[in-house]
Amino acid sequence: MKKSNEKTNVMRILEQNKMPYESHCYTDTDAIGGMEVATVLGQNADQVFKTLVTVGSSKNHYVFLVPVNKELNLKKAAKAVGEKSIEMIKAKELLPLTGYIHGGCSPIGMKKPFKTTVDRTAGGFDTIFFSGGRIGYQVELAPDALKKILDYELADISD
């Protein structure tokens, strides 16, 4: 696993908040998809989370973290946030809404905070991995530490 000296905004936020984390870099590969990233970094795919941004029928936006080897169940996700329905936002809406591009979207450091739900399986790990805020970078952080920076709920949201 390659370590990088380069810092992303996510890493700076974690450091400013004195949160212990590990950074993992895969910029020397062509890996883009979550499963590819988990494989390249030798990580357990159940422990690697992708960040998904949705919009509810109320027009409110929501962020969900699910393991890369699973899919977001839209019905379970809508129920978890109290919406009648939700759908994924269009790719072109991601950057203006969050400040992140597809493949480098992190739940930490978005332009504004959104209600965030993490798949309940995260609670079973000492640490989880998710985007470091740029393609090629992952951060590894304890779910309890993430809770100190990001207000989130755990729920059954994946299939």
Model pLDDT for residues 103-142, shown as the tens digit of each residue: 999 999 999 999 999 999 999 999 999 999 999 999 999 9
Distances (CA, A) of 55 to 36, 89, 108, 130, 153: 27, 6, 18, 21, 17
pLDDT tens-digit readout, 92-101: 999 999 999 9
Residue 1 is predicted with a pLDDT of 42
Please state, as a whole number, how many other Cβ atoms lie within 10 Å of the Cβ of residue 140: 21
Q: Is 26 helix (H, G, I), strand (E, B) or coil?
A: coil
The whole-angstrom separation of Cα 139 and Cα 145 is: 12
The whole-angstrom separation of Cα 135 and Cα 87 is: 24
Residue 2 — pLDDT band, cuts 50, 70, 90? Answer: very low
9-155 under CATH 1.25.40.10, yes or no: no
For tokens 């640490």, name the residue: 127
Query: Closest by alpha carbon to 152, among 86, 108, 111?
Result: 108
The whole-angstrom separation of Cα 53 and Cα 148 is: 21
Query: What's 6's DSSP letter?
Result: -
Label residues 59-76 b or e (16+ Cβ within 10 Å = b). eebbbbbbbbebebbbeb
Is a pLDDT exceeding 90 seen at residue 29?
no
Distances (CA, A) of 137 to 29, 37, 43, 89, 96: 11, 10, 13, 23, 21
Residue 5 is predicted with a pLDDT of 62
Residue 152 is predicted with a pLDDT of 97
